[in-house]
Amino acid sequence: MLVRQTKLIRCWMPFLDGEKKVIRNILKQLLSATLSFLLVINAVPFAVEGQQPAQVPPPPPADNGYSGQGAPLSAGDLQKLVAPIALYPDALVAQILGAATFPDQVAAAVGWLQQNKSLTGTALNQAVDKQEWDPSVKALTQFPSVLDNLAENLSWTSALGEAYHTQAADVMTAIQTLRAQAKAAGNLKSGSQITVVQQAPQTIVIQPTNPQVVYVPQYNPTVVYGTPYVTPGYSTAAVVTTAVLAFGIGIAVGAAINNSCCGWGYSYWNCNWHGGAVVYRSNVYYGNNAWHGGAYGSSVTAYGPNGVARAGNAYNPNTGTYARGASTTTAYGTQKVGQAYNPNTGAYAATHQASNAYGNYGSSVVSKNGNTAYTQHQTTAQGSVGTVQTSNGGRGAAATGAYGNSGAVGQTANGNKYAAANGNVYKNTGSGWNQTQGTPRPTPNSAAARGYGSQERPSGSAFGGGGSGWQSREASARGSASRGGGGGWGGRR
């Protein structure tokens, strides 16, 4: 459909003789109307086929201790969220929950470590101590694999930090629930790496068997608990395929930390399971008090002899929006693509833009609640052309020629039609074409006489000879205006 629209406009371009500003305004109005329509319908609940429309949850009670935005997460949602770390030693869990409220610092710390790979032991800790990071983030530099995992799954990290900030006691309960499930399934046992102690009916403590060496558990959260858990925004390592715990290389802690440096080490952290919070230096620790989620992501850039390529992704936990994009630049031109999607509302958008020595072109689509709008554009030395089409029946096309000539056609969802050429604007709402803007001509040279016609032909739309209504049949503005007669938009040569 859009290809046909583009062909239609191309055939006008050598014959257009209006003002460029007029056509730009027409196209801008068409696009603005389409986007405004989609913004208006955003207020309608989105429903996937076969599902009920989303229900707005009631506000939480004022005295439940919840300080977040929107409704608090359910016990089940919290269990999914903490599943990847629930079986870590207590002090490491405490560090992770604190650091998750500083996801921007987590990303910065990972980048800093990559740039300072030569630092080890005391030299590393002293260099880390000089950074302006939270103690929890500094502490995790002793566990680079854990820090990398937080950075690689920033959308999950952000959500985990928000949950701990607003529902600390509920998060701690969720961790204990999962530990009990893993223990009951036979997948959480004491060994040479960890010691598991049932401290109370509702409390399971996990500590390193050797207090000076910490082993980070590796496991698949979807199977180790006996009940599958899929964590949103989190990718489990592909090598972890069994339902039992595995362990990497032990990390020596304490030896490189002394009283003269680094009071953020492993031994300074713990979990107060009865109080429902993390403990740092014998005090309750809630992390970033100002944390309320945010947009975070990652990007990568690659350079080669033929050009450069970039890719990135982002997530906003406040809105639930995911986005990703990529671009390439070579001697032949550029290509850029992007997508954004919100599973909570069903809103979706995508774009593809490109340029080369001959010009630039692109297309975009935006969709919400089953309503979709498509746009295309192309600019070359011959001029510019753009089209827009909505799923409810609205459509339009516009073009400018190399010498400032312009023209446009449009049709609303209810069938009203509009056209513009040479600075003159016409409309047809079912009773014939009437000029609404521009310089009127004498009656013998009326709009109908100049080739715009008065009514649609029975065989099809006023924009074409039949079928879909956008075929040019070589008879649009060129066939009518240039030869001064014929059947208007639906005529044939």
What is residue 2's three-state secondary structure? helix
pLDDT of 423 strictly over 50: yes
> 152 phi and psi, to 5 degrees?
-75, -20
pLDDT tens across 349-372, in order? 999 999 999 999 999 998 888 889
pLDDT at 297: 60
Are the C-beta atoms of 153 and 83 separated by less than 8 Å?
no
Q: Which helix (H) or strand (E) holds 196?
A: strand 194-200
pLDDT at 206: 97
Choice between 256 and 43, residue whose per-residue pLDDT is larger: 256
pLDDT of 258 strictly over 60: no
pLDDT of 489 strictly over 60: no
What is residue 225's three-state secondary structure? coil
Alpha-carbon distance values, 341 to 228, 320, 338, 371, 376 (Å): 26, 8, 10, 15, 20
Which residues pair with residue 298 across a beta bridge?
A: 313
pLDDT of 325 strictly over 60: yes
Averaged confidence pLDDT in the chain: 74
pLDDT of 401 strictly over 90: no
pLDDT at 416: 86
**Gap between the Cα atoms of 159 and 103, Å rounded:** 10
Listed by start position, the domains of the chain span 1-41+371-493, 75-285, 295-368
pLDDT tens across 428-469, in order? 888 888 887 777 655 544 544 444 443 333 333 333 333 333
pLDDT tens across 30-75, in order? 443 333 333 322 322 222 223 233 333 333 333 345 555 557 899 9
List, in order, residues 6 or more apart from 13 with CB less than 8 Å away.
382, 383, 385, 399, 400, 401, 402, 405
> 84 phi and psi, to 5 degrees?
-70, -20
pLDDT of 408 strictly over 70: yes
Whole-number percent of the chain with pLDDT over 70: 69
Average pLDDT, integer, range 181-200? 95
Residue 296: band (very low, low, confident or very high) from pLDDT cuts 50, 70, 90: low
pLDDT tens across 217-251, in order? 999 888 899 888 888 878 765 546 666 788 888 89
**Gap between the Cα atoms of 27 and 387, Å rounded:** 8
**Gap between the Cα atoms of 353 and 193, Å rounded:** 53
